[in-house]
């Protein structure tokens, strides 16, 4: 099967995603698109020239021509402004709304059957925009944030315990914002609950650091936000779809009653396969978890109201 991946935005996240895509061999063809003349071509050429050194044979090209996305199986949208210190992700809503709208309008005629993975912030509102503008079914419109937030949570737990991050399993649900829900009850190290391994105080510190994980990096970078793990996280989702892996990953999806919530995009664990969203993995939340999850949902609803689509 020919597997074609489109990546929109040849900035920090889009370039990282393109790099991970060829290194992980998730697609036979990767097309990077940006509106800035020459930018995607230059970035793609640079990545392509690493092929003989690293040893891959996938095709990667960059262009300003949307037609190059013809029949792409998956398209990742990273186009849009990143935040700077002192800004919230919400501050990007108006400017990125127009960008995401125009990207989706340009993608759909060329790749009408693709799965869209939206990365642009504020993510839960931007994936809603892509859903409305594309008219695609909910199975083919997904937002990336949970993979990144869960990776941060797992990394901080591993760091606190001095164990390999590979052995830490944990998930973060909800909005990609301050009210995200890093689940403490289900976080474990090789099956051992973290509550049996770490004091409550340390766990609370890790939870808070995870919730503010994006801002911590913005405060160091000054002119932009995280890109390496965000790029990889988007590729993890694309790979699950392109290879029909049935991975269980937390993604922002349109809920239709799952977790007692409907008509909103928010992060929940789902099964990702060839059809995109194949199933929402619903499980009972404790009353406290539910309370935070509903706060998340309320925050996303506020963002969606501002969009007016």
Ligand X SMILES: NC(=O)c1ccc[n+]([C@@H]2O[C@H](COP(=O)([O-])OP(=O)(O)OC[C@H]3O[C@@H](n4cnc5c(N)ncnc54)[C@H](O)[C@@H]3O)[C@@H](O)[C@H]2O)c1
Residue set of the binding site: 9-14, 34, 83, 89, 96, 119-121, 152
Is 214 a binding residue for ligand LMR by CB under 6 A? The answer is yes
Instruction: Please say if 176 is a catalytic residue.
Output: yes
Is 267 a binding residue for ligand LMR by CB under 6 A? The answer is no
Read off the DSSP letter of residue 174.
B
Q: Which one of the listed residues 19, 110, 176, 179 is annotated catalytic?
A: 176
| Ordered strands of the 192-193 beta sheet | 168-169, 188-189, 192-193
Q: How far is the CB of 176 from ligand X (least distance, A)?
A: 6
Query: Which of the choices ligand LMR, ligand X, none does residue 13 contact, using the CB cut-off of 5 to 8 A by kind?
Result: ligand X
Whether 201 contacts 227, CB under 8 Å:
no
Q: How far is the CB of 229 from ligand LMR (least distance, A)?
A: 8
Q: Which of residues 43-82 bind ligand LMR (CB under 6 A)?
A: 82
Q: Which of residues 100-139 bind ligand LMR (CB under 6 A)?
A: 121
Is 182 a binding residue for ligand X by CB under 6 A? The answer is no
* Range 91-108 burial, b when 16+ CB lie within 10 A, else e: ebbeebbebbbebbebbb
Q: How far is the CB of 286 from ligand X (least distance, A)?
A: 26
Q: Which of residues 31-70 bind ligand X (CB under 6 A)?
A: 33-36, 39
Backbone phi, then psi, for 76, in 5-degree steps?
Answer: -100, 130
Of 41, 28, 20, nearest in space to 1 by CA:
28
Is 292 a binding residue for ligand LMR by CB under 6 A? The answer is no
Task: Output the 3-class SS for 124-145.
Answer: HHHHHHHHHHHCCCHHHEEECC
Is 83 a binding residue for ligand LMR by CB under 6 A? The answer is yes
Distance separating alpha carbons of residues 119 and 76, to the nearest angstrom? 7
Residues contacting 130, CB < 8 A, separation 6+:
77, 100, 104, 116, 118, 136, 141
Is 19 a binding residue for ligand LMR by CB under 6 A? The answer is no
Beta bridge partners of 10: none
Whether 103 contacts 242, CB under 8 Å:
no
Query: Which of the choices ligand X, ligand LMR, none does residue 36 contact, using the CB cut-off of 5 to 8 A by kind?
Result: ligand X
Q: How many residues bind ligand X (CB under 6 A)?
A: 36
**Binding test (CB under 6 A) with ligand LMR, winner from 35, 217, 271, 295:** 217
Tokens, residue 89: 């992700």
What is the secondary structure of 184-223 as a DSSP string? STT-EETTEEGGGTS-HHHHHHHHHHHHTHHHHHHHHHSS
Is 225 a binding residue for ligand X by CB under 6 A? The answer is yes
**Binding test (CB under 6 A) with ligand X, winner from 5, 32, 103, 268:** 103
- Interface positions with ligand LMR (CB under 6 A): 82-83, 89, 121, 176, 213-215, 217-218, 225-226, 230
- Interface positions with ligand X (CB under 6 A): 8-14, 33-36, 39, 78-83, 92, 96, 99, 102-103, 119-121, 123, 144-145, 148, 176, 224-227, 230
Q: Active-site positions?
A: 176
């Amino acid at each position: 099967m020919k597997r074609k991946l489109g990546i929109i935005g040849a900035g920090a996240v889009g370039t990282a995603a393109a790099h991970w895509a060829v290194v992980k061999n998730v697609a036979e063809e990767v097309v990077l698109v940006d509106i800035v003349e020459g930018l995607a071509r230059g970035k793609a050429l640079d990545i392509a020239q690493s092929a003989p050194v690293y040893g891959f044979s996938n095709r990667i090209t960059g262009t300003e021509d949307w037609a190059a996305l013809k029949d792409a199986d998956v398209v990742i949208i990273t186009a849009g402004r990143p935040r700077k210190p002192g800004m919230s992700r919400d501050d990007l809503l108006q400017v990125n709304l127009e960008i995401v709208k125009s990207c989706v309008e340009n993608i759909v005629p060329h790749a009408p059957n693709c799965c869209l993975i939206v990365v642009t912030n504020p993510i839960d509102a931007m994936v809603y925009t892509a859903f409305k503008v594309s008219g695609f079914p909910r199975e083919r419109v997904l937002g990336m944030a949970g993979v990144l937030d869960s990776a941060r949570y797992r990394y901080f737990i591993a760091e606190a315990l001095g164990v390999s991050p590979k052995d830490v399993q944990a998930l973060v649900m909800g909005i990609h914002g301050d009210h995200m829900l890093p689940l403490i009850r289900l976080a474990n190290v090789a099956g051992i609950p973290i509550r049996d391994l770490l004091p409550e105080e340390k766990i609370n510190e890790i939870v808070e650091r995870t919730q503010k994980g994006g801002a911590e990096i913005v405060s160091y970078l000054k002119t932009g936000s995280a890109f390496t793990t965000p790029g990889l996280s988007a590729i993890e989702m694309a790979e699950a779809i392109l290879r029909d892996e049935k991975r269980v990953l937390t993604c922002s999806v349109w809920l239709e009653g799952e977790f007692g919530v409907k008509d909103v995009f928010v992060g929940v664990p789902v099964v990702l396969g060839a059809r995109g969203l194949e199933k929402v993995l619903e499980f009972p939340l404790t009353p406290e978890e539910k309370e935070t999850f509903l706060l998340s949902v309320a925050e996303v609803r506020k963002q969606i109201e501002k969009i007016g689509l």
